[in-house]
C-alpha cells in the first residue's frame, strides 16, 4: 500500500452495522480494511464498495473470536503497510440463553469477540497511533443492554458493559495524545443480530423503535469525527428506556422470565 494512505479498520464489516459504517466511510472518501469471518461475502462487498466509491477497500478474512486474532490483524496491517487512522470495533454476536445452559465454548467465543479482541485491538493500534503521532479515532460499539441486568442475556449485557467501561476509561488515557475513543450505545437496529423476522423489523422501523443501520452509521460517524466520548442514538427515548428497565421490580422480571421459558418450551 501507499505509505501516504491512511485506512479505517472496521470489524464485522460484511453485514449490518459494520457494513453500513464501511459504506459511509467510503462515501466520505476513506480507504477501508474490512474484517469479517464471512470470506466470500466480504470479498464481494469490498469489491463493490471499491468500485462504487473509488477508494481502496481491502477484505481481510479473520475469525475475531480467536484469542490471537487481534495480533494477526495488527500484523497483517504491518506486513501490508496499512496505516490505521480509524478503528471501528463493531463485530458482535447475540443469543438468549441462561448461563447454566450455555456451553463453555460459546461463553469463550462471546468473551473473545466482545471483550478480548476489541480490547487488544485498542491497545495495539492506540500504541501505534501515539508512536507515529497519528491523531486517530476509535469507535467502540457497546449497547444500551450494558445497563440491562436481565436474565437470558447475562453474557451479552455484561460484555457490552465491559466495553462501555473500558472505552470510557481508556479515552481519558488517550485523549492527551490526540487519540479519541467514542463509545456508542445503540438500542434496536434493523440487522440480523437478534434473529427477528423481516416483517417485525420493518414494523419496528416504521414505528421508530428500530433504527436502520444506514442512519445509525451517519449519526455515529458524525459523533466520532467530533471526538465525542459517548453517544446513545435515539436520545431521550433510549435514555428513558434505560431508566425504565433499571426500575423494573424483581417480581416482574421473574414473571417475564417464566413467560419466556413457557414460549421456548412450547416450540
- Positions annotated as catalytic residues are 156
Distance CA 147, CA 161 (A): 7
Cell of 150: 436481565
For 89-124, b/e burial (b = at least 16 CB within 10 A) is: bbbbebeebeeeeeeeeeeebbbbbbbbbbbbbbeb
194 neighbors 93 (Cβ within 8 angstroms): no
106 neighbors 50 (Cβ within 8 angstroms): no
Residue 235 — left, alpha, or beta (φ > 0 → left; ψ -120 to 50 → alpha)? left
79 neighbors 6 (Cβ within 8 angstroms): no
Instruction: Report residue 152: phi and psi, to 5°.
Output: 95, -25
- How many CA within 13 A on the CB side of residue 133? 0
Amino acid at each position: 500500500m501507499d505509505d501516504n494512505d491512511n485506512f479505517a479498520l472496521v470489524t464485522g464489516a460484511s453485514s449490518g452495522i459494520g457494513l453500513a459504517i464501511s459504506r459511509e466511510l467510503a462515501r466520505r472518501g476513506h480507504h477501508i480494511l474490512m474484517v469479517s469471518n464471512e470470506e466470500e461475502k466480504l470479498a464481494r462487498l469490498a469489491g463493490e464498495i471499491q468500485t462504487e466509491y473509488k477508494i481502496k477497500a481491502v477484505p481481510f478474512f479473520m475469525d475475531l473470536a480467536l484469542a490471537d486474532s487481534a495480533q494477526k490483524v495488527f500484523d497483517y496491517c504491518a506486513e501490508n503497510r496499512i496505516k490505521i487512522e480509524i478503528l471501528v470495533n463493531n463485530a458482535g454476536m447475540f443469543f438468549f440463553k441462561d448461563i447454566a445452559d450455555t456451553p463453555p465454548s460459546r461463553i469463550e467465543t462471546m468473551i473473545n469477540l466482545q471483550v478480548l479482541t476489541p480490547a487488544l485491538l485498542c491497545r495495539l493500534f492506540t500504541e501505534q497511533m501515539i508512536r507515529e503521532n497519528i491523531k486517530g479515532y476509535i469507535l467502540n460499539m457497546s449497547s444500551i443492554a450494558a445497563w440491562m441486568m436481565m436474565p437470558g442475556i447475562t453474557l451479552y449485557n455484561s460484555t457490552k458493559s465491559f466495553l462501555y467501561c473500558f472505552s470510557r476509561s481508556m479515552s481519558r488515557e488517550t485523549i492527551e495524545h490526540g487519540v479519541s475513543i467514542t463509545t456508542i450505545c445503540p438500542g434496536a437496529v434493523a440487522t440480523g443480530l437478534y434473529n427477528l423476522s423481516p416483517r417485525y423489523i420493518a414494523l419496528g422501523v416504521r414505528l421508530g423503535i428500530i433504527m436502520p443501520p444506514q442512519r445509525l452509521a451517519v449519526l455515529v460517524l458524525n459523533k466520532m469525527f467530533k471526538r465525542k466520548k459517548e453517544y446513545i442514538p435515539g436520545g431521550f427515548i433510549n435514555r428513558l428506556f434505560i431508566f425504565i428497565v433499571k426500575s423494573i421490580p424483581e417480581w416482574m422480571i421473574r414473571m417475564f422470565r417464566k413467560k419466556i421459558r413457557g414460549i421456548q418450551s412450547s416450540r
